[in-house]
């Protein structure tokens, strides 16, 4: 009973703030609404008892990406600037396309018979997650972990190279 | 903790979030708000992976690790995208997609 009330509260928050994120005219407010959506998602992960994933969601998404987005908003647009939306025809057409896609997906979801598994759940404490990330056995994820490390390094260097000022541009 | 909540309830939430993100991507003109729509889409996919893992295959952690890796990729993607956006702002003094049409043929 309690968890159901909590779930519907979170679901309502996610839907309302997602809509506000894509429709708000003030960009900074849209970023804060996105923050609320991400925090509600973390709460859903807590409900599903994946606590490590929820903590990662809070630190990386809510703590990292949203701060990055807010900083770049402050760098690139004036605080009172109102975002330009697509013209009316494009808005109606994309709403139609999105509505049709959502309807199709929802009908498919409701028609498919999911059979929830009754097997005991695997623990997902920090120890289990850490062991799985560095083991290369059947249930290990060492290769994706290494690949993601290299991707993060490449993204780090690439972001610095792209965003820095060029030397001759400074001397000019 | 999930009690009697059916799996469909979570899937409906993530579907609606996904399509709201696509709507934002189609109608927004500002590059940063388009990036925010992409974050919404990635986030809804994460919910799907985690819910399928919890309800259908609770004895494994595959969906959990998929979500973990998607979060890392989203962070890398946001960093590179914002670097590109700041560079575009430096060259065009605007980040609206309508004004950035130098390479349009």
Give the minimum alpha-carbon distance from A22 to chain B in angstroms, rounded to a whole number. Answer: 5
Q: Given an 8 Å threshold on Cβ–Cβ distance, is A19 in contact with B20?
A: yes
**B70 contacts chain A (CB < 8 A):** no
**B43 contacts chain A (CB < 8 A):** yes
Q: Mean per-residue pLDDT for A43-62? A: 92
Q: What angle do CA B90, A61, A73 make, to 5 degrees?
A: 25
What pairs with residue B96 in β-bridges? B30
Task: Please give the residue of chain B at the shortest CA–CA distance from A100.
Answer: B19
Give ipTM to 2 decimals. 0.92
Q: Environment class of residue B94 by beta-carbon count within 10 Å: exposed (0-12), middle (13-18) or buried (19+)? A: middle
Give B-chain residues touching A162 at CB under 8 angstroms.
80, 83-84, 87
Q: Given an 8 Å threshold on Cβ–Cβ distance, is A14 in contact with B89?
A: no
Give B-chain residues touching A49 at CB under 8 angstroms.
1, 54
Q: Given an 8 Å threshold on Cβ–Cβ distance, is A91 in contact with B36?
A: no
How far apart CA A31 and CA A10 sit, in angstroms, is: 19
Closest partner residue to B75 (CB to CB) among A64, A109, A119 is A64
How far apart CA A53 and CA B47 sit, in angstroms, is: 11
**A21 contacts chain B (CB < 8 A):** yes
The confidence score (pLDDT) of residue A170 equals 56
DSSP states along A44-109: HHHHTT-HHHHHHIIIIIIIIIHHHHHHHHHHHS-TTPBPPBPPHHHHHHHHHHHHHHHHHHHHHH
- Residues 6 or more apart whose CB falls under 8 angstroms from that of B35 comprise A69, B78, B81, B82, B85
Give A-chain residues touching B79 at CB under 8 angstroms.
68, 155-156, 159
Give the minimum alpha-carbon distance from A171 to chain B in angstroms, rounded to a whole number. Answer: 16
Indicate the pLDDT class of residue A45, thresholds 50, 70 and 90.
Answer: very high
Helix and strand element counts for chain A (H, E): 8, 0
Q: Given an 8 Å threshold on Cβ–Cβ distance, is B71 in contact with A57?
A: yes
3-state helix, strand, coil in chain A (%, to 5): 75, 0, 25
User: What's the token pair of residue B48?
Assistant: 């799907």
How far apart CA B29 and CA A28 sit, in angstroms, is: 15
A107-141: pLDDT as tens digits: 999 999 888 888 888 788 888 888 888 888 887 88
Dihedral sign computed on CA atoms, order A106, A1, A38, A26: positive
Between chain A and chain B, how many beta carbons pairs sit less than 8 Å apart? Answer: 235
Q: What angle do CA A60, B80, A40 make, to 5 degrees?
A: 30
Task: Tell which of A28, A66, A163 to mutate to test the B interface (max B CBs under 10 Å).
Answer: A163
B58-93: pLDDT as tens digits: 888 889 999 999 999 999 999 999 999 988 888 888
B26-41: pLDDT as tens digits: 998 889 999 999 999 9
């Amino acid at each position: 009973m309690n968890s159901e009330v909590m779930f519907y509260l979170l679901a309502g928050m996610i839907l309302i703030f997602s809509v506000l994120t894509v429709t708000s005219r003030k960009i900074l407010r849209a970023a804060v609404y996105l923050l609320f959506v991400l925090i509600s998602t973390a709460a859903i992960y807590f409900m599903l008892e994946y606590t490590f994933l929820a903590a990662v969601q809070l630190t990386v998404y809510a703590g990292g990406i949203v701060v990055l987005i807010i900083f770049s908003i402050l760098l690139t647009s004036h605080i009172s600037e109102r975002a330009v939306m697509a013209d009316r025809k494009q808005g109606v057409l994309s709403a139609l396309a999105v509505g049709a896609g959502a309807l199709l997906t929802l009908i498919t979801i409701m028609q498919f018979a999911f059979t929830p598994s009754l097997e005991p759940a695997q623990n997902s404490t920090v120890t289990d997650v850490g062991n799985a990330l560095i083991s290369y056995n059947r249930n290990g994820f060492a290769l994706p972990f290494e690949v993601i490390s290299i991707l993060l390094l490449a993204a780090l260097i690439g972001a610095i190279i792209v965003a820095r000022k060029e030397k001759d541009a400074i001397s000019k | 903790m999930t009690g009697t909540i059916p799996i469909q309830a979570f899937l409906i939430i993530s579907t609606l979030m996904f399509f709201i993100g696509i709507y934002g991507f189609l109608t927004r003109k500002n590059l940063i708000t388009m990036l925010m729509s992409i974050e919404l889409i990635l986030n809804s996919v994460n919910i799907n992976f985690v819910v399928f893992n919890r309800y259908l295959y609770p004895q494994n952690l595959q969906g959990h690790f998929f979500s973990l890796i998607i979060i890392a990729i989203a962070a890398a993607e946001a960093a590179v995208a914002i670097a590109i956006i700041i560079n575009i702002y430096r060259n065009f003094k605007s980040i609206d997609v309508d004004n950035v049409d130098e390479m349009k043929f």
